[in-house]
Structure 1
Amino acid sequence: MLKPLLSIAYLSFVAFLPVNASASPIDSQKAAIVEQLGNHPQWLKLLHFQRGESLIESDAFFFALEGRVNPKAELLATLEEFENDANRTNQELAQCRFPARYLWLKKQLGSQFSTPKVHCEKLEGWQEENQLDSISLIFVTGYMGNPASFFGHLLMKLNKKGQYYSSKTPLLDSSVNFGANTGQRDNPIKYVTYGLLGGYSASFSQEDYYRYEFGYAEGEQRELWEYELNLTEDELKLLESHLWELQGKEFRYYFLDGNCATYMASFVSIVLEEPLLKNVQPWDMPLDIFKALPNKQHNNLPLVKSIDKRESKYSRIKDKYLALTGREQEAAKSLTIDKVLFANNSYAQLSSYEKSRVLNVMFDYYELTIVDGSEDEANLAKSRKIKLMQERLKLPALDLEWEMSKSAPPHLAQNPMKIGLSTGYNSELGGFGQLNFRAAYYDYLYLETSRFNDSNATFFDGNVRFSNQDIWLDKFDVFNVSTLNIRQVDLFEDSQFAWSTRFTIEQKDLSCNDCERARWFGALGKATKLKGVISFYAMPGVNVDLSNYKDSELNITFGALYTASEYWKTHLKLMPASSLGADSEQKLLIDWESRFGNEMDWDVRLNVKHNKSSEVSMSYARYF
């Protein structure tokens, strides 16, 4: 306790010591520097200061005992440590441990900043390995197989210089990830609980980019969008040096506002005048970063230099397969079904060009099977791929053309937060108005840009209704997550299940406004898509009424999701249900909703429902 008090007293004394004959010129100079730069915005960014303290929890990041809560004390201690480098061995050099602080002070003070010249072998070797030419931020689309990945992920990529880099071989680059330090056996419930309550530490880590690209694009079949940033050489050097400073340093992970988006935005914002994230909501999502990037100007230039997409292997297979003619598709299917390859006439009758197209698709198909399949499936796929290669060698070299699907980058996706106003009529309760608020993220009718298609992932979605006589809660969904898991390529044996889960507080049915129930819905089924525009699904399920278990139900949801155009999309659900109580009440629920418009920040919807009572409503919503 005595040491911190003495340090604070000493700092206060130095900072306010008048310059006179008895004061040390060196101490006076330090005091002036501390007073001038101790609360400089960029110094606070380098210390990751927010709300009066640093977000970094590792003591090794600070020189001063009170450095985590006192930026002036940390600056004074940094100046002293840099001066003392002349008396240290290479392993202890302060300039080698904190090169970003050194660069920043040198830029701010110029000739006033005089420190011993040092050689940092490990740092220079690491920088030589990086060969940093530019920095990109990578948006990884959401993944429905893990609750932590519903909202997508954000990576940073360090792009190598000319002779080391080619846009066609970015796998030689390195990537920077920020993530929670979880246990290998942590289950989703523990992950979400610890994530919400701050039970995990977190840190930045650097690995070869190909590891992440393979895991996301090839393993989990997620799309990767790369936004290259327009930064100066000095800015790149400062960020690279700060990344060195952060190696092994721990932060506190929070699922809502201390995640990859939070800390990556904080890192890049060190060289920006304005932060990438605006504190207008109590949570941070990767999409928020990419929504902000294209609107930023930096050094009188757009902050984003270029945007590129890395498709998943499944997306490439799907695009190529759907581009095949009918007879080419039949030949491709025969190469997955027939025990003896090329024995089927559907392949033999094709021209050399058509055969080459089919084989090209099958190469991708078997490569994906090798990655995703069981050991037996992978071994069979390897054997068949060799035979395909032998067949391809018999054909002439041809330049194949593919009509690939076009997709919009994430900054053009519909905004995730929703506020809506509705007016409607209920056959039992009469006319009503409705205010809707949804914290995140998207529903079935959203624009399908940079998200998992044919899926729904909404959180904290509530409706408050009002009439001339009353005001009531219509529903409040804590979460509502579902996916149809449709594969549009019939080369695959479609063993994926459609599923749905929802936890809500809602009215028992549409005929009352004072009969709230807490319910959990769960369903599992199958889905298919016709002609790429209409999806059908059937999901048997259960409705567990936590307020009155006798009113729990067994049900089956039949649904159709139709995309008529980018301006109109509609979703129809029919749900026969039977209660588990003694009276075994049976009923039919109907929900038909249509979305009109194709803008990222608004839409208009028409909704027709029946559940004991019938109602129709029209809504206008804004998205933020």
Structure 2
Amino acid sequence: MNHRQLPLLHAPGFITAPRLLFFLCHLFCLPTTAFAAGDPPSPPSKSLDEIVESLSTTPNHYLAELLQRAERERLWEKPVWQRLMHYKPTLLGGTESQVDGTDFFLSATGKRDPRAELRATLAGFFTHMEVPPNGLSPQCRFPARYFWLDSQLHFDPEQLPVQDCPKFNFFMDGIRPHGVTVVFPAEHPDSPSSMFGHTLLRLDRANQTSATRMLDYTVNFAAEAGDSSGVGYAINGLTGTFEGRFRVIPYYMKLREYAQMENRDIWEYRLKLSPEQTRFIAMHTWEMVPTYYDYYFFTENCAYHLLSLIEPALPERTLTDSFGSWVLPVDILRVLRRNDLVADVRYYPSRYRIIQARREYLDEKSEALALDIFNQGLENHDDRLQQFDAERQADILDLAYEYRRYAGIAGNSALNPALSDDERALLLARSRLGIVRGAPQVAAPQTSPDNGHLATRLGLGFGANDSGGFLQLDWRAVYHDWLDPLAGHSSSYALAFGSLAARYYGDTEQRKLRLRRLHVVRIDNMEPWDAFFRRVSWRVVTGIEGLTQSDDRQGFILRGGPGISIGTNDKHLLGYGLLEAELGAATAYADNARLAAGPAIGLMASPGQHWRLRLTASYLADARDRQQDSARLEAGLSWGGQARPSLRLSGGRYRLLDGWYNEAQLSLKIYF
């Protein structure tokens, strides 16, 4: 391996490399137990720390010379070394690497001692010791470290020979990195791992096109969750029990992993990185794939560690220090924008949007025929198809085929590259028409996800109900609700984690601050139902709520249920109906518990560019005590843009434990 000139393409017969690369990355970069039944490679009888101590003062030894020069330059304090090792300051004033795999460190104290790790790394470069988990020598296991230290110390190849690293060379030959693109599949509520969207890096080759980008390789960081799901999945993700690992796979294979990816728009952010910086990132990727981090959903997640992978190539930037208490995938897009690292943004519509665009070309009769062909086969409706002219036949067949592919993915949770008999028949009939037509043009949303409102929100409001006036202070950790500015967000999906509201009632006998609401999570998924997309809408909310109009009593609630939504194609008007059930627990309830059920309906609209309107009604009848019934008739109107606060007016008539009452409130919402 020539570390001074990073390899681009050495091996002949490159055509076979992409297929083998994915296999080799897993074979040589996973822990040893994944590919060998025996013990992992053994360390040398003498540790590198001991070698450093014994040779650091030995005259005329080249390692001693390198160590002395590294000491003079204090290289372990340089930003590149700190970022290659992923060191961060600790609360007690020390330093600790965020990497949790012990095989990443050559020094016994390397996780917390940058100087010791640098010295052990230099010593390791003189050896052919097998570094766990893949048994490569230090030069071949850590090429980015070697490359950077060589650039600082200018190794003499006569005294420190460059070792041949065929596996690493094959890796670099296969991906041929020339540029970097951050890929953002938009959020989708049907999977916990995609509720906030996702981010991954794509290592682009030179002269890439829209079509060939699918063959480039992606770097993805994700939790190794295994069979964990439900509550266990959430607990493990919150407590760092999962291992988070990088994986390198072709872009098209990564997209096939997601059944719901067919419903997710793709945004691609090409970065302003040179080919040299890109290759350095690829080298560091090679170093990171075999090891792991403790994975935390809201901090050390897919978004955060993709930035940590880029940082070594940008020593003048501090990207991962830009976050607060949590990191969302869209946040890294904003960080890249603020640091002027985004060259351009490209939008690729989901298959769902493409199907909807094809439907716009057809009238109701033609659309119904396409659906019948999908359900019953082309052979049963060929006579009906022949009644249309060739142009319209092409539109009908295109829609039937597109929907067939979509349904196949949704039903099998993966894309089968082989064509079914029905798909083959549709394509054959389509080809006979001799009409060449590309995919329909789907306009990109006016606002990209990173330009939407920020996720955390603080609100201050003044209102009044039948018991008097109040001031309300509310706070939401993340993410988006129905009356927030719509730009950059879905119009059929609302998600809030950590929503808190407290009120100060000034007109009551006992003036005090009282808890109005503490929702742990609230998810509203109102995807419209129609002849093609028969999606069940649903809602779930859990937490603590006030049980009276003056909030002098509170209780725990778990509420939710399924339903149906309908809306216009542009989703500027959306209506829903749900059948909800609620389980409550509070001392204010009879027998300290409540079980209720009833209907809920709502209408959401965007009457203007910056306006949002919501009308809702619900009634929950208690199964045992009708005095504990609750009801809500509410209207809300908001105004605001994506980069500024929003003003919100809401009011309605409500029923809680102390009966019916009226309420209205005006509030200001600030996003940060």
Q: What is the TM-score when the length of structure 2 is the normalising length? A: 0.82
Q: Partner letter of residue 196 of structure 1?
A: L
In structure 2, which of residues 166, 171, 189 is the aligned counterpart of residue 121 of structure 1? Answer: 166
Aligned to 1:53: 96
| Contact 2:185 2:261 (8 Å CA) reproduced | no
| Contact 2:459 2:669 (8 Å CA) reproduced | yes
In structure 1, which of residues 358, 364, 367 is the aligned counterpart of residue 396 of structure 2? Answer: 358
In structure 2, which of residues 436, 459, 473 is the aligned counterpart of residue 420 of structure 1? Answer: 459
Distance verdict in 2 for CA 1:76–1:278, change over 3 Å:
closer
Aligned to 1:271: 313
Aligned to 2:80: 42
1:161 correspondence with 2:209: no
Q: CA deviation at 1:581?
A: 3.4
Q: Which moved more, 1:23-32 or 1:568-577?
A: 23-32
3-state SS of paired residue (1:514)? coil
In structure 1, which of residues 27, 33, 58 is the aligned counterpart of residue 64 of structure 2? Answer: 27
CA distance in 1, matches of 2:374, 2:567: 21
Aligned to 1:199: 241
CA distance in 1, matches of 2:101, 2:647: 50
CA distance in 1, matches of 2:193, 2:635: 30
3-state SS of paired residue (2:305)? helix
CA distance in 2, matches of 1:277, 1:322: 44
1:433 correspondence with 2:453: no
In structure 2, which of residues 344, 348, 352 is the aligned counterpart of residue 310 of structure 1? Answer: 348
Distance verdict in 2 for CA 1:392–1:498, change over 3 Å:
same
| Contact 2:49 2:108 (8 Å CA) reproduced | no
Q: Partner letter of residue 205 of structure 1?
A: R
CA distance in 2, matches of 1:475, 1:401: 48
Tell me the alpha carbon deviations over residues 434-476 of structure 1, each in whole angstroms, 9 at most, x when there is no partner.
1111100111233445544411110111112224433222111
Distance verdict in 2 for CA 1:217–1:158, change over 3 Å:
farther
Q: CA deviation at 1:138?
A: 1.0
1:148 correspondence with 2:210: no
Distance verdict in 2 for CA 1:55–1:357, change over 3 Å:
same
Q: CA deviation at 1:102?
A: 1.0
Tell me the alpha carbon deviations over residues 493-547 of structure 1, each in whole angstroms, 9 at most, x when there is no partner.
x2x22111111212103x2221111211122222212464322211111221111
Aligned to 2:669: 621
Q: Partner letter of residue 623 of structure 1?
A: Y
Aligned to 1:409: 448
Aligned to 2:176: 131
Aligned residues: 598
Q: Which moved more, 1:476-485 or 1:580-589?
A: 580-589
Aligned to 2:526: 484
1:236 correspondence with 2:273: no
Aligned to 1:93: 137
Gaps of 5+ in 1: 298-302
CA distance in 1, matches of 2:624, 2:532: 45
Tell me the alpha carbon deviations over residues 125-167 of structure 1, each in whole angstroms, 9 at most, x when there is no partner.
11111111111111122222222321111111111233xx432
Q: What is the TM-score when the length of structure 1 is the normalising length? A: 0.88
| Contact 2:460 2:667 (8 Å CA) reproduced | yes
Q: Partner letter of residue 293 of structure 2?
A: F
Tell me the alpha carbon deviations over residues 361-399 of structure 1, each in whole angstroms, 9 at most, x when there is no partner.
222011112222379xx9xx9443333333323323244
Aligned to 2:26: none
| Contact 2:486 2:642 (8 Å CA) reproduced | no
3-state SS of paired residue (2:77)? coil
CA distance in 1, matches of 2:59, 2:317: 43
Q: Which moved more, 1:21-30 or 1:438-447?
A: 21-30
Distance verdict in 2 for CA 1:325–1:582, change over 3 Å:
closer
CA distance in 1, matches of 2:441, 2:300: 41
CA distance in 1, matches of 2:432, 2:251: 36
Q: Which moved more, 1:66-75 or 1:79-88?
A: 79-88
CA distance in 1, matches of 2:129, 2:550: 80
Tell me the alpha carbon deviations over residues 220-249 of structure 1, each in whole angstroms, 9 at most, x when there is no partner.
522221111111232122111111111211
3-state SS of paired residue (1:257)? coil
Distance verdict in 2 for CA 1:344–1:173, change over 3 Å:
closer
Distance verdict in 2 for CA 1:276–1:323, change over 3 Å:
farther
Percent of residue pairs identical: 23
Q: CA deviation at 1:181?
A: 1.5
CA distance in 2, matches of 1:14, 1:282: 45
Distance verdict in 2 for CA 1:582–1:619, change over 3 Å:
closer
Distance verdict in 2 for CA 1:28–1:432, change over 3 Å:
same
| Contact 2:480 2:496 (8 Å CA) reproduced | yes
Matches within 5 A, 1:373-388: 373=411, 382-388=420-426
3-state SS of paired residue (2:556)? strand
1:599 correspondence with 2:638: no
CA distance in 2, matches of 1:434, 1:14: 68
3-state SS of paired residue (2:502)? strand
In structure 1, which of residues 517, 529, 533 is the aligned counterpart of residue 567 of structure 2? Answer: 529
1:290 correspondence with 2:333: yes
In structure 2, which of residues 533, 539, 544 is the aligned counterpart of residue 505 of structure 1? Answer: 544
Q: CA deviation at 1:79?
A: 1.4
Distance verdict in 2 for CA 1:84–1:294, change over 3 Å:
same
3-state SS of paired residue (2:118)? helix
| Contact 1:34 1:76 (8 Å CA) reproduced | no
| Contact 1:216 1:223 (8 Å CA) reproduced | no
Matches within 5 A, 1:200-215: 200-215=242-257
Matches within 5 A, 1:552-563: 552-563=595-606
| Contact 1:353 1:398 (8 Å CA) reproduced | no
Q: CA deviation at 1:257?
A: 1.0
Q: CA deviation at 1:343?
A: 4.2
Aligned to 1:106: 150
| Contact 2:349 2:444 (8 Å CA) reproduced | no
Aligned to 2:107: 64
3-state SS of paired residue (2:477)? strand
Distance verdict in 2 for CA 1:462–1:601, change over 3 Å:
same
Q: CA deviation at 1:311?
A: 2.3
CA distance in 2, matches of 1:369, 1:87: 49
| Contact 1:366 1:382 (8 Å CA) reproduced | no
Q: CA deviation at 1:47?
A: 0.6
CA distance in 2, matches of 1:374, 1:103: 45
Q: Partner letter of residue 139 of structure 2?
A: Q
| Contact 2:564 2:576 (8 Å CA) reproduced | yes
Aligned to 2:220: 177
1:319 correspondence with 2:357: yes
1:472 correspondence with 2:514: yes
Tell me the alpha carbon deviations over residues 174-228 of structure 1, each in whole angstroms, 9 at most, x when there is no partner.
1111111222x21221111011111111211111211112233775522221111
Aligned to 1:300: none
Q: Partner letter of residue 148 of structure 1?
A: S
Distance verdict in 2 for CA 1:334–1:23, change over 3 Å:
closer
CA distance in 2, matches of 1:355, 1:87: 64
Gaps of 5+ in 2: 1-43, 655-659
Distance verdict in 2 for CA 1:115–1:618, change over 3 Å:
same
Q: Partner letter of residue 138 of structure 2?
A: A
Distance verdict in 2 for CA 1:258–1:112, change over 3 Å:
same
CA distance in 2, matches of 1:487, 1:413: 26
Distance verdict in 2 for CA 1:26–1:382, change over 3 Å:
closer
| Contact 1:545 1:552 (8 Å CA) reproduced | yes
| Contact 1:223 1:309 (8 Å CA) reproduced | yes
Distance verdict in 2 for CA 1:438–1:13, change over 3 Å:
farther
Q: CA deviation at 1:588?
A: 3.0
Q: Partner letter of residue 575 of structure 1?
A: S
CA distance in 2, matches of 1:443, 1:305: 31
